[in-house]
Amino acid sequence: MKKAFTLVCLILLLLTGIVRGQVTFLVTSLPENTPAQDNLYIAGDFTGWNPGSPAYAMQKNTDGNWYITLAEEAEGTEIRYKFTRGSWATVEKGPSGEEIADRRFTFGNGQTVEVTIHNWADGGSGNNSTAAPNVYIMDEDFMIPQLNRSRRVWIYLPPDYDTSGKDYPVLYMHDGQNLFDSNTSFSGEWQVDETLNAMAGEGIDVPVVVGIDNGGIYRIAEYTPWASQQYGGGDGEAYVRFIVETLKPYIDQNYRTLPGREHTGIMGSSLGGLISHYGALRYQQTFSKAGIFSPSYWFSDSVWSFIQNSPKQANMKFYQLCGTLEGENTVAHMLRMSDSLESAGFSQEEIFNKVVEGGQHNEALWRDNFREAVLWLFGNGPASVQEQAAVRKLILSPNPAHEYFRILNQESLNADSLIIMDISGQVAKEMKYKTKGHYDIRNLKPGTYLIRLHSEGYLYEGKLIRGK
């Protein structure tokens, strides 16, 4: 009977075509300075990049070597991972202490992977920080009552804070691990402290910066105000309320700050850019400045209905930044948001859009433009609205058009799609790009439209009139 059952299981496995594999990671060599009392962890895309998840703590075998066996996955499944001693401050490094690329593994069947760890980010000492002396860990476990979680919070105090007696504006930033210290960062830091200290040395007034660590496995949820079927999320409103209702009052009570909205900003990148955009508009009574770097407007279409229902209540400053190599629609989405902000009542003078030719979705882009963003957001000079984008003209014919139009650019365009937007900034139609042929606009109402596509690092756009 047992043999028959086993045979049936094998037949079912063959019929489904699914072959599953398991893997054991075995650390055969560690740096000599590895603290004897520390535990080892594996962190990867399968852990939400949590550097110290108890579920992925490693164990020692009878030979004293650390190991962990992961759950079975379908053959061909690829994972990315690194090893830590429980935090990104203690992530593994290369033979010369350099950053290393994510390790990769593709599941097969019953494999063991031997691992050599060359160095630790903290040198094994736990105190190899690159943060400036005027950066402090305000609290390792600051309570977020709105989400029943706690979080590490950093604070940067301007160099003259202890001697000036002045009150300072405040900038609230997300992904605190990546702002000040390369040893806690995921893939490089913003160098917020070095940049602001240099500015202060030039006689420029700089703000207090409050950096809130992301929650690892909670990052997507906390930085998204709306849920996505594919990615989940939706705790963003509670997270922003934490900043407004809990963290900001604490900062204003315990530090010399200028608490008014005109002195308060919010800034972040990627999903952090999305939640900064949301927070600034949702709580205009609290924030007057938003640094929106590489915003993930793609996450949910709800962002467009949100801006429609979030009219201007007070003067604001929006600094939007992205690079041409961040993704197919990143530039178009950012410029569409600029149009939408204008439709919501904000003037061109309140919006700064910058597109960096060749810019990628990484800390280097955000670090290189942080100084400019701070100067524009907190400075007293006139707003700049120059879109420093690689924008080229799209030649459309006929124009005005009644039923169809063509693209007449002589240069070869390499695009997947084009977007047709109305004058309010809303997408009226998205169409597959054609190297030849006509685009059907018979279902569009008469009016003026903006046609946009992204090709070879350039944004192409042109205005089209749809006649009656």
Domain containing 67 — which CATH number? 2.60.40.10
Each residue of 297-308: pLDDT tens digit? 999 999 999 999
Cα separation, 411 vs 392, in Å, equals 11
Whether 418 and 369 share a structural domain: no
pLDDT exceeds cutoff 50 at 389: no
Q: pLDDT band for position 385 (50/70/90)? A: very low
Q: pLDDT band for position 36 (50/70/90)? A: confident
Residue 148 belongs to domain with CATH number: 3.40.50.1820
Contacts with 14 (C-beta within 8 Å, 6 or more apart), sequence order: none
Whether 230 and 314 share a structural domain: yes
Which pLDDT score, from 0 to 100, does residue 365 have? 94
Each residue of 314-362: pLDDT tens digit? 999 999 999 988 876 888 899 999 999 999 999 989 999 999 988 999 9
CB 435 within 8 A of CB 415: no
Residue 27 lies in a domain: yes
Cα separation, 214 vs 236, in Å, equals 12
Residue 455 lies in a domain: yes
Of the residues 343, 378, 413, which one is the last residue of a structural domain?
378
Whether 320 and 436 share a structural domain: no
pLDDT exceeds cutoff 80 at 3: no
Cα separation, 293 vs 271, in Å, equals 9
**Residue 363 burial class via C-beta count within 10 angstroms: exposed 0-12, middle 13-18, buried 19 and up:** buried
| The dihedral sign for the CA sequence 87, 88, 90, 91 | positive
Which pLDDT score, from 0 to 100, does residue 216 have? 87
Each residue of 404-437: pLDDT tens digit? 999 998 888 888 788 888 765 567 888 888 878 8
Each residue of 140-194: pLDDT tens digit? 899 999 999 999 999 999 999 999 999 999 999 999 999 999 878 877 789 999 9
Strand (E) or helix (H) holding 48: none
Whether 348 and 307 share a structural domain: yes
Residue 236 lies in a domain: yes
Q: Can you give the residue range of the structural domain that contains 150?
A: 135-378
- Of the ranges 38-52, 101-115, 270-284, 438-452, which is most confident? 270-284
Q: What percent of the chain has pLDDT over 70?
A: 90
Cα separation, 321 vs 342, in Å, equals 17
Cα separation, 153 vs 170, in Å, equals 14
The three-state secondary structure class of 17 is coil
Q: Which long-range contacts (CB under 8 A, 24 or more apart) does 442-448 make?
A: 442/403, 442/404, 444/420, 447/422, 447/423, 448/422, 448/423
pLDDT exceeds cutoff 50 at 93: yes
pLDDT exceeds cutoff 60 at 384: no
Of the residues 72, 94, 120, which one is the last residue of a structural domain?
120
**Residue 4 burial class via C-beta count within 10 angstroms: exposed 0-12, middle 13-18, buried 19 and up:** exposed
Residue 383 lies in a domain: no
Structure tokens at 378: 């907190």
Whether 74 and 207 share a structural domain: no
pLDDT exceeds cutoff 50 at 382: no
Q: pLDDT band for position 239 (50/70/90)? A: very high
Which pLDDT score, from 0 to 100, does residue 432 have? 86
Whether 74 and 183 share a structural domain: no
- Least confident span in 112-121, 155-164, 210-219, 411-420: 411-420
CB 252 within 8 A of CB 259: yes
In 108-178, the DSSP E strands lie at 111-116, 119-120, 135-144, 149-156, 170-173
Task: Give the residue with greater pLDDT, 309 vs 17.
Answer: 309
Helices (H), 352-423: 363-378
pLDDT exceeds cutoff 60 at 51: yes
Closest CA to 225 of 335, 137, 295, 299: 299
Residue 289 lies in a domain: yes
Number of domains in the chain: 3
pTM: 0.64
pLDDT exceeds cutoff 80 at 395: yes
Q: pLDDT band for position 22 (50/70/90)? A: confident
pLDDT exceeds cutoff 70 at 127: no
Whether 370 and 447 share a structural domain: no
Average pLDDT, the chain: 88
Residues in the chain: 468
pLDDT exceeds cutoff 70 at 11: no
